[in-house]
Amino acid sequence: MAKTNNAARPPVLSSLKEQYYFLIGMLDEARVEKLGSRAAMLSQYLPLRRERLNRGIEKKLARFDARIRKELSALEDKTLPPEAVFKKIYGEKERALEKKYRLQFREFRQNLRRAEGIVDQDNNLTGELSAQAAEKAAAYEAQLEAEKKARVQAALEGFIKKRGGPSERAGEFKTRLERRCAEAAGEREALKKALEVKADAGYQAFARRTEDRIAGIKAKLSEERRRSEAVTAKSHTLVLPDDVALRLDRLCMYFGGLKAVDDLSFDVKKGEIFGLIGPNGAGKTTVFNCITQFYKPSSGEIWFNDRYGKTLRLNKYAVHNIIKTGIVRTFQNIELVAELTVLENLLLAAHTQYNSGFFSHMFFTSGLRQETAVLTQKALEILEKMNLIHLKNAYPVGMPYGILKRIELARTLMADASLIILDEPAAGLNEKETEELMELIKRISREYEATIFLVEHDMGLVMEVCDHICAVSFGRKLAYGTPKEIQESKDVQEAYLGVE
């Protein structure tokens, strides 16, 4: 009995030791992630700070221009005849008065049409006014025009009486106006230079402080990475090759007696577009759920090289921590928040990138403002690349399905993922939208240097965009290879395409 306990103890101790180092490694990874995110935020905020200072200069110059315009307008009025000044001042009121009389005339004419029965219930015209009614309408229009002119003339006479006739000093005021215009141009240029010098000095000081902070963070980050890698080495010894992003090693997922995934193994290369295909019920979505830990595998290992090149054993991670490793996914159904705008939906996906804590959000500190500015700019740039910028303030409700798919795909880019998992991205799209999606997936892989892993039933899309494909049936691997090799595989033709 004692021998049995002694024999059983080493595996238990080994498991506890592995779990201990995994938990320590998780804490180290959190520190590494926070330091890396903070350094990136500070670097990305520098150009935004410059833009903010430039906008401040523009606002101050705009206030100066408004003040000068008011001053010059007053001088210009003294050089003009009273009628011209009146038209300049009274012009808006005259247009409003003309609109008022025009509406009165239309109402009068419509009443005449109703009286003659040439308007239906929907106010559509069904005939022409009689000659007598037309004369009455013309007379009323002339009456309104005369009344309008009389009111404008009365207002002009009142203005001239109050202001007086043409100024005898018009020539003197014209000289003063020209001199003041030249002075104002010089003042504006001097103000602009002074503001730019002040802004540049402030920016340089801010940039130096920020760069010092970034250098300190990066030094600490390097130290934390070394510590994290050393701890991880004690947790597990496997290190994936540099060109491998994801590895499934003999993955199994059982639901009672049902084998949804059965001894499945394959590698996903870094930077490639990888496809997983198979008939309905073949276990494709279950594989996704195991990778993202929605399901804990019955057996087998899932390994992942994160954005720092560190090999992680995903089996140990909780589902809410998977996104922090650099893995993000979409779902078969649209999962956008209807109550938020398109821009807010994208910002929601960046929640793990905020380093500010509870009190920073309570008091809206400068650090939080910087993070918000950086992430908002990032979201706007993604929307611009996805041709969705015109919808940034719109709500998803009622939008075409193809647009919603693109918004959801844009949201995955906000998470800075190195592995993007797409679950049937072309489902519900028409032929044109599917073609656009193909180009979009290729562009995302290329421009964002992301590995893309997709499940899709549209064989045209899969064969067009994927570098490698794994075909499965009843949870088991049928074939792995390039699109051409998969098309030529007899096992795939029999199980998936129905060819014997």
78-115 pLDDT, tens digit per residue, is 888 888 888 888 888 888 999 999 999 999 998 998 88
Distances in whole angstroms, Cα of residue 59 to Cα of each of 131, 181, 197, 327, 369 = 60, 21, 16, 43, 20
Task: Locate 244 and state its tokens.
Answer: 């491998």
Q: Which residue has the tokens 């419509």?
A: 110
Cα-trace Rg, the chain: 36
Q: What is the pLDDT of residue 124?
A: 83
In the three-class reduction of DSSP (H, G, I as helix; E, B as strand; rest coil), residue 331 is classed as coil
Burial environment of residue 9 by CB neighbours within 10 A (0 to 12, 13 to 18, 19 or more): exposed
The residue whose two tokens read 């106006």 is 177
* Regions of the chain short of the pLDDT cut 50: 1-9
Beta-carbon neighbour count of residue 268 at 10 Å? 25
β-strand partners of 469: 275, 481
Indicate the CATH number for domain 244-336+396-495. Answer: 3.40.50.300
pTM over 0.75? The answer is no
- Tell me how crowded residue 79 is: count the other CB atoms within 10 A of its CB: 20
Helix (H, G, I), strand (E, B) or coil at 206: helix
For residue 116, the model assigns a pLDDT of 87
> CA angle at residue 93 from 89 to 95, to 5 degrees?
115
* Alpha-carbon distances of 112 from 104, 246, 482, rounded to whole Å: 13, 80, 79
Residue 448 DSSP label: S
Length of the chain, please? 500
- CB of 365 within 8 A of CB of 356? yes
C-beta neighbour count of 182 within 10 angstroms = 10
Residue 221 burial (CB count, 10 A): 20
pLDDT at 123: 78
Q: Roughly what angle, to the nearest 10 degrees, separates helices 82-115 and 131-163? A: 160
Q: C-alpha angle with apex 163: 160 to 169, nearest 5 degrees?
A: 110
Residue for token pair 């947790």: 235
Q: What confidence tens digit (pLDDT) does each residue in 154-202 have?
A: 988 888 888 776 666 778 888 888 999 999 999 999 999 999 999 999 9
Determine the pLDDT at residue 281. 81
Domain extents in the chain: 2-69+183-235, 80-166, 244-336+396-495
- 378, 318 Cβ separation under 8 angstroms: no
